[in-house]
Amino acid sequence: MVNYKDLGLVNTREMFAKAIDGGYAIPAFNFNNMEQLQAIIKACAETKSPVILQVSSGARKYANQTLLRYMAEGAVEYAKELGWEHPQICLHLDHGDTFELCKSCVDFGFSSVMIDGSSLPYEENIALTKKVVEYAHQFDVTVEAELGVLAGVEDDVVAEESHYTKPEEVIDFATRSGCDSLAISIGTSHGAYKFKPEQCTRDPQTGRLVPPPLAFDVLAEIEKKLPGFPIVLHGSSSVPQEYVDIINTYGGNMPDAVGVPEEQLRKASKSAVCKINIDSDSRLAFTAAVRKVLAEKPGEFDPRKYCGPARDEMVKLYKHKIIEVLGSDGKAE
């Protein structure tokens, strides 16, 4: 049994309380490899932003959960080396799907876990979430739950179409499950193709897809029911078109990739939404940079020569999100 506090990590409780009061959101960035983690920590150290490092099931399969946890422990020391005196770093399990998995993360030093029972019938979601909460809270580990279903692929959970969170259920769900934060469905979805072309209009000048707005009315109703309660948005990548263009220019093929416009995330950050999940944008930044280097220098074979520029591009992306979209800069001095 390892307690996250001994690793210099923090849970989300205080982060979220401050974010709601201050009208900003905490970035929750997924990481799968060293370059991503270095870029996240560098961006947060340079902007003094609190951060949630997320480990998904895909990341565990790819990189090994044990290794990822030790990397997060190393990240706290790396942050201090970069001159960040009091790093506020949370290590979070993204989309945990069983009690056993959540327990293993709590026991192993994670400071926060998500139990995603959103695909289960309502009562089963409550029961599973409650079981995880009862265990995690003994060790002061915070728990995120999900109500409502996002469109697209949620790890192993496949939803044909999204089902917005029903505001009339949130008080009962939060009270009976005891969760610390609630992920809701208001129109975001995972991945780089968040909206089908038929859901969008097209900008006549650029020909680019213009997605439909998020359901801010549903968010407002949820906030009214649960004043001051931390709300989480998954699937919040914006799919920057400059990266899609670079990828397509240098041999890629990502037609009609589209995300959530940043203005809408900026607006959400000022509400009870205090955690915004971003993964796909980092993948796009990485891939765009790697494709460009390899296309321009076909003789290059040293991974540092293309992973290095990819890492620099991710630092730029993360800093942009922190400063221009979420407003979390300067909140962890």
- List residues binding ligand G3H (CB under 6 A): 30, 56-59, 94-95, 155, 190, 279
**Among residues 87, 235, 240, 327, the one that binds ligand 13P under rule CB under 6 A:** 235
135/212 Cα distance (integer angstroms): 40
Count, residues near ligand 13P per rule CB under 6 A? 13
CB of 302 to ligand 13P, least distance (A): 29
**Binding residue (CB under 6 A) for ligand 13P from 12, 47, 49, 237:** 237
Using the rule CB under 6 A, is 162 a contact of ligand 13P?
Answer: no
234 binds Zn ion (CB under 5 A): yes
Three-state DSSP class for residue 271: coil
Taking the complex as a whole, the smallest distance from the CB of residue 30 to ligand G3H amounts, in Å, to: 5
Look at residue 185 and give the partner it binds from Zn ion, ligand G3H, ligand 13P, none, a contact being a CB closer than 5 to 8 Å depending on partner kind: none
Closest approach of Cβ 305 to ligand 13P, in Å? Answer: 27
Catalytic, out of 21, 94, 172, 245:
94
Q: Based on the shown chain and the rule CB under 6 A, indicate whether residue 279 belongs to the binding site for ligand 13P.
A: yes
Is residue 329 part of the annotated active site? The answer reads no
CB 155, min distance to ligand 13P, A: 8
Task: Tell me if 165 contacts ligand 13P by CB under 6 A.
Answer: no
Tell me which residues touch ligand 13P (CB under 6 A): 30, 94-95, 190-191, 234-237, 277-280
**Which residues are the active-site residues?**
94
